[in-house]
């Protein structure tokens, strides 16, 4: 949602919608965020967003994967950094 909010705040929502006006999937949202020239993302966010997606995909789609507290703790700084940066880009912070 923060990615969508950032694009909408900067009047770039059409860049992340498909031909039917629906927002694209998370992978495409992340790619669009990383390649957007209007803003400069920090190095940690550039490497962090794909890591968070991988963990989210495993949690949502991995039939035998359980995201344990230890796994979340390993990416908590990444989550915080990426969230903060996107909150600022979306003008929600």
Nearest to 47 by CA among 60, 59, 30: 30
Over its C-alpha atoms, the chain yields an Rg (Å, rounded) of 14
Query: What gap in Å lies between CA 29 and CA 4, rounded to an integer?
Result: 8
Secondary structure of residue 76 in the 3-state scheme = helix
> What 8-state DSSP symbol labels residue 23?
B
The confidence score (pLDDT) of residue 82 equals 96
Confidence (pLDDT) at 15? 97
pLDDT at 59: 86
Share of the chain above pLDDT 70, in %: 100
Percent of the chain with pLDDT over 90: 80
- The overall average pLDDT reported for the chain is 94
pLDDT band, residue 68 (cuts 50/70/90): confident
Q: How many domains does the chain have?
A: 1
**Segment (H or E) for 53:** helix 43-61
CA distance 39 to 76: 24
Confidence of residue 45 (pLDDT cuts 50, 70, 90): very high
Q: Domain residues for 40?
A: 2-89
């Amino acid at each position: 949602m923060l990615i969508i909010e950032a694009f909408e705040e900067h009047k770039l929502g059409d860049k992340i919608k498909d031909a039917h006006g629906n927002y694209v999937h998370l992978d495409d949202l992340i790619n669009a965020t990383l390649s957007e020239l209007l803003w400069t993302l920090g190095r940690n966010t550039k490497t962090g967003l794909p890591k968070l997606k991988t963990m989210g995909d495993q949690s949502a789609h991995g039939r035998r994967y359980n995201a344990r507290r230890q796994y979340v703790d390993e990416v908590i700084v990444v989550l915080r950094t990426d969230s903060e940066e996107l909150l600022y880009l979306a003008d929600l912070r």
